[in-house]
Amino acid sequence: MTSSSSSALRDIQRDLETKANDLSKIQKDIAKNHQVRKKYTIQLGENELVLKELDLLNEGANVYKLIGPVLVKQDLAEANANVRKRIEYISAELKRLDSTLQDLEEKQNSKKDAILKLQQRIQSLQAGKAKA
Amino acid sequence: MGEPGLKGTVTSLSSMFPVEEAEKAAKRVEEALEEKRKEKNRLNEFIADNTSLTNLVQKLPDELHHDIMVPFGKAAFFPGRLIHTNEFMVLLGEGYYAERTAKQTVEILKRREKSLESQVNSLKATMEDLKLEASFFDTTALEASEGLVEIREEYVEENSAETESGLVEQDSISFTETDNTKGAFENEEYACILSRLDELEKEEELAAENDREKSEDSFAEVDSKKVEAVDEKWARVMSRLDELEKEELTAQSDEEKDEDQQTDASESKSDEDEQTEVDFGRKNNADHNSRYQTLMHSESTKPPQQRKDKHTTLEGLSNKHQQPDLTNELNCTGLTVEPAPEDGRSISRNMPQKVETLNPSENSSVLPDRKVKFQVEDSSRKEAAVQTKKPGFDSSKAFTGSIVEHAQNLQVLQRQPGTSSQSLGPQPSKPISRFKMQRK
């Protein structure tokens, strides 16, 4: 009796460990997600600033783009279009990241609940064993 | 004072806010504050760089060419010339450059500076909030460590007939929704008050008519004397109002929950605040005669409603709502109370010299002096009146007008502008604006 209950106890504990590992992985993913989101948000802000300045330029003002060590002359209209496309791309990325973040958080909560339940089972088993 | 059979609880603040936790919270807020400070420093550096760059850009076009040392590689320079002194390649962001003249560059830099400054301002605002939080945690930690206790006692009504305090208590009770009624006694008291108010009203009307020709200042002086004269009446009315306010506050105890945690000092601070509010109200008396007359008329015709208004408005005082009404109603009561000469004069003569300490909190005029005297006397009377009620005081109503026990603390509190300004801060400005509203 006791051996079977103790083996059951060990099983539950192993289960608990695996679940705990999963939880920590999920939490790392959430942290990474936050970082990437921060980067994208900063880039978005910068791009919007650039767009504002470009709008203030008259026609015929020279715009250059730094590609590696090279400054390349660009057309004003082209630069405008590029910056706008980049802004759209970044916002789409941010939305995607938001949804991923939501999923991750849900998974994290469910894992936490599962771990809690396991812990309760362990406690009840141990209390039962102590009584016996 | 001591009422037999009072039940109550004594909870040490340290049990509600464990000392270590309060200290930890204080540390956390400190750290957050540090971070924000670093951010602010960074932003300030940026702003400084921006300014120096703007100056340089403005100076360059002064010459056709500048003789400079040109950097050559990582560790060398050679002498050379800076030509094209009006052409700047400005980095717009994300690897985009634009060719601009000096003036246009300066404009770009100015726009950047503006955004930087707005960032700094928002950071400052958050820092202020954090500072408040930190101070709150610090005080609670201190209090908890000192073993300050929070005493809650049930409110048991007293049936004493002779003292004003007894009258006051029961009178106030009659106007609460939640309290148990005390029957005919309140009605009697109510009738008495009504009749007195009517008398005073009439006297005030006469006095106001006489004074209408005089200037504001002279009226203030006359008014002040009347004020002095009727301190007793005012004290009674005030204490009644305080009770009303307290009862009203029980209904709104949710808002006050945070303020519960503050010490008695804060409560007496609020009392002081209320008194200064009253003061402002009375000062307004001096300035607007006709308005008061109309107010008084309305008062005579609708005493119950006015009572309720006083009730609610006093509560508003402590909750910082409904302040226009407050001044109105207070003015009413102040005026009606004024013209009863006999009682007040003798009392006012016995006033201690605590007047000066309360002066700084008020505008300079003849009136505040008298008012202050009256207030202190008022407080002392209320002290006697309210001490019987002290057990009934609910600490959940921190900013009530129950006041008074700390008449001697009024001096101390006045010298703590930092702390009192927290509760008093928004209020001094508001009375002034209320006056403006009234003047319309």
What is the arithmetic mean of pLDDT over B170-188?
50
Task: In whole angstroms, give the CA distance from residue B229 to residue B232.
Answer: 8
Subunit contact B93:A64, Cβ cutoff 8 A = no
Total residue length of chain A: 132
What is the arithmetic mean of pLDDT over A51-61?
85
Subunit contact B93:A49, Cβ cutoff 8 A = yes
Name which of B89, B93, B108 is nearest A46 (Cβ-Cβ): B93
Looking at the predicted structure, is the pLDDT value of residue B311 above 70? no
- Taking any CB pair shorter than 8 Å as contact, residues of chain B touching chain A are 89, 92-100, 108, 115
What pLDDT shows up at residue B139? 81
Looking at the predicted structure, is the pLDDT value of residue A68 above 50? yes
DSSP string, B261-285: TS-HHHHHHHHHHHHHHHHHHHHHH
What pLDDT shows up at residue A118? 86
Is the Cβ–Cβ distance between A65 and A86 less than 8 Å? no
What pLDDT shows up at residue B211? 65
What pLDDT shows up at residue B348? 39
Looking at the predicted structure, is the pLDDT value of residue A1 above 80? no
pLDDT band at B30 (very low <50, low <70, confident <90, very high): confident
What pLDDT shows up at residue A10? 84
What is the arithmetic mean of pLDDT over B22-35?
83
What pLDDT shows up at residue A84? 93
Name the residue with higher pLDDT: B167 or B233.
B233
What pLDDT shows up at residue B195? 83
What pLDDT shows up at residue B51? 94
Looking at the predicted structure, is the pLDDT value of residue A114 above 60? yes
What pLDDT shows up at residue B52? 95
pLDDT band at A2 (very low <50, low <70, confident <90, very high): low
CA distance A106 to chain B (A): 28
Is the Cβ–Cβ distance between B284 and B290 less than 8 Å? no
Task: In whole angstroms, give the CA distance from residue A114 to residue B4.
Answer: 56
Looking at the predicted structure, is the pLDDT value of residue A75 above 60? yes
pLDDT band at B118 (very low <50, low <70, confident <90, very high): very high
Looking at the predicted structure, is the pLDDT value of residue B62 above 80? yes
What is the arithmetic mean of pLDDT over B169-196?
59
Task: In whole angstroms, give the CA distance from residue B431 to residue B4.
Answer: 42
The residue among A51, A55, A64 with the most chain B CBs within 10 A of its CB, best to mutate, is A64
Among residues 101-130 of chain A, which lie with CB inside 8 Å of chain B? none
What pLDDT shows up at residue A47? 92
pLDDT digits 0-9 by tens, A11-54: 888 888 899 899 999 999 999 999 999 999 999 999 998 998 88
CA torsion sign for A8, A9, A10, A15 is: positive
What pLDDT shows up at residue B236? 73
Element (H, E) at B98: strand B96-100
What pLDDT shows up at residue B159? 61
What pLDDT shows up at residue B70? 93
Looking at the predicted structure, is the pLDDT value of residue B188 above 80? no
Task: In whole angstroms, give the CA distance from residue B268 to residue B259.
Answer: 12
Q: 3-class DSSP state for residue A73?
A: strand
CA distance A5 to chain B (A): 41
* List of chain A residues whose C-beta atoms are within 8 Å of the C-beta of residue B105: none
CA distance A38 to chain B (A): 16
Q: Which residue has the tokens 């609670």?
A: B140
Identify the top-confidence range among B213-217, B249-253, B258-262: B249-253
Question: Could you tell me which of B340, B333, B143 has the C-alpha nearest to residue B230?
Answer: B340
Structure tokens at B393: 């005081």
What pLDDT shows up at residue B9? 74
Is the Cβ–Cβ distance between A80 and A54 less than 8 Å? yes
DSSP string, B149-163: EEEEE-------SSS
What pLDDT shows up at residue B278? 42
What is the arithmetic mean of pLDDT over B413-425?
41
List the strands of the sheet with A63-67, edge to edge.
Answer: A70-74, A63-67, B96-100, B88-93
pLDDT digits 0-9 by tens, A98-109: 999 999 999 999
pLDDT digits 0-9 by tens, B368-393: 444 434 444 444 444 444 444 444 44
Looking at the predicted structure, is the pLDDT value of residue B46 above 90? yes
Subunit contact A61:B92, Cβ cutoff 8 A = no
Residue of chain B whose alpha carbon sits nearest to that of A79:
B96
* List of chain B residues whose C-beta atoms are within 8 Å of the C-beta of residue A73: none
pLDDT band at B23 (very low <50, low <70, confident <90, very high): confident
CA distance A44 to chain B (A): 10
Subunit contact A64:B99, Cβ cutoff 8 A = yes
Q: What percent of chain B has pLDDT over 90?
A: 13
Subunit contact A63:B94, Cβ cutoff 8 A = no
Average pLDDT along chain B: 62
What pLDDT shows up at residue B337? 39
Residue of chain A whose alpha carbon sits nearest to that of B104:
A57
Looking at the predicted structure, is the pLDDT value of residue B417 above 60? no
Looking at the predicted structure, is the pLDDT value of residue A87 above 90? yes
What angle, 0 to 180 degrees and rounded to 10, lies between the N-to-C axes of helices B231-251 and B323-337?
150
DSSP string, B365-392: SHHHHHHHHHHHHHHHHHHHHHHTTGGG
CA distance B83 to chain A (A): 19
